[in-house]
Structure formats: C-alpha cells, structure tokens
Amino acid sequence: MSSPKRHTVVPSPYGPLTLVADDGVLCGLYMTDQRHRPPEETFGDRDGTPFAEAEQQLKAYFAGELKEFTLQLRLNGTPFQRTVWDELRRIPYGETRSYGQLAEALGKPAASRAVGLANGKNPIGVIVPCHRVVGADGSLTGYGGGLARKRLLLDFESGGTLDHGHADALVAHTLAEGD
C-alpha cells in the first residue's frame, strides 16, 4: 500500500523548497537545511501532481503579485501550536509582530516563550508567515530557514525588490555559516 504523502521540490529565490502533501493537502514547506526539517523519507513519493495550486501561488508571491495565500493546509501539531500558526496567518503582508504581541493576541500574555517555540516548529514556512515574527525591540530573532532568508523575506514584503543574485549570495551565506 502506498503512502498518502507526496512531495515535490520547487525553485525559489531562497533556494529549493520541498512541498509535502498528505492526501493531497499541503502539510509541509521546507527550505534546504531548515531547522526542524523532518527526514526526507517521511515525505512520501516524489510526485508534483498535488502541488499545482501551491506552486502557482508561490510564484505569484515571489513575483510580488500575491499578498495572501488561499491554500488548504493541514497543520500537524499540538492544539497550542496550531493556534499559534493560525495567528501567524493573521499577520498582514509587510507587517511584523513580536512574540509578546502574538501571545497577547492569543489571550496568553505570559506565553511569549511558548509562542516562540511553536513559531519555530511551523511546518509550512513562507505560507504560514513565521518570518514576520521579530523580537520585542524589532530585532530579527531565530528563523528555521536562517536569519539571512528571514531578512530577505521581510525586506521583500516591505516593498523591496527581489534581487535573485543577492538572495542567492545571502542564502549561500546562511547555509555556510549556520545563521
């Protein structure tokens, strides 16, 4: 019996993105060398069939034409993690929130550390915009895909242009330095 999971790899300005679907529903988007990236063997067979809409929306996003993803997602995690990830999806394109602000929005003002841990385990990067979360003072804090990628995504969303050569260099730096 074959696994209901399928995966494909698509190009992006930030390096290859591995998309994973479970029964045709997107449940993962992982960057190369991403922290908390599951082992490849858990992604199922390689098959691009279930990813046409995700690929189309990602292309539109990276072209600056899409501000909000409308994909069906399967966010696998604890109830608290799913609540945090749902709140991440409410952060508007081009804006940021601190961990404390997210905790406040969830009605758990003392839970900023738990919010940070849940944010770091987000299984669907970019689409569930964990890159939009910053430190209380606005500083860039940890990002599973590396701080260079986070910086690029935030710069891009705040009206910057996507310089593929610059992105390639920063991503290479991230991978080399473990940023």
Domain edges within the chain? 5-62, 79-177
pLDDT digits (tens, 9 = 90+) for 132-165: 999 888 888 877 777 888 898 999 998 866 555 5
> Which ranges constitute the DSSP H helices of the chain?
52-62, 79-88, 99-105, 112-120, 147-157, 164-177
CATH number (3.60.21.70, 3.30.160.70, 3.40.50.300, 3.40.50.1000) of 5-62 reads 3.30.160.70
pLDDT, tens digit (0-9, with 9 covering 90-100), for 25-82: 999 999 988 888 999 999 999 998 889 999 999 999 999 999 999 999 999 999 999 9
Known catalytic residues are 130
pLDDT at 34: 85
- DSSP letter at 34 equals -
The answer to whether 139 and 114 are in contact (CB under 8 A) is no
What fold is seen in the domain 79-177?
A: Arc Repressor Mutant, subunit A (1.10.10)
- Looking at residues 8-14, what average pLDDT do you find? 92
pTM across the whole model: 0.86
- pLDDT, one tens digit per residue, over 95-112 is 999 999 999 999 999 999
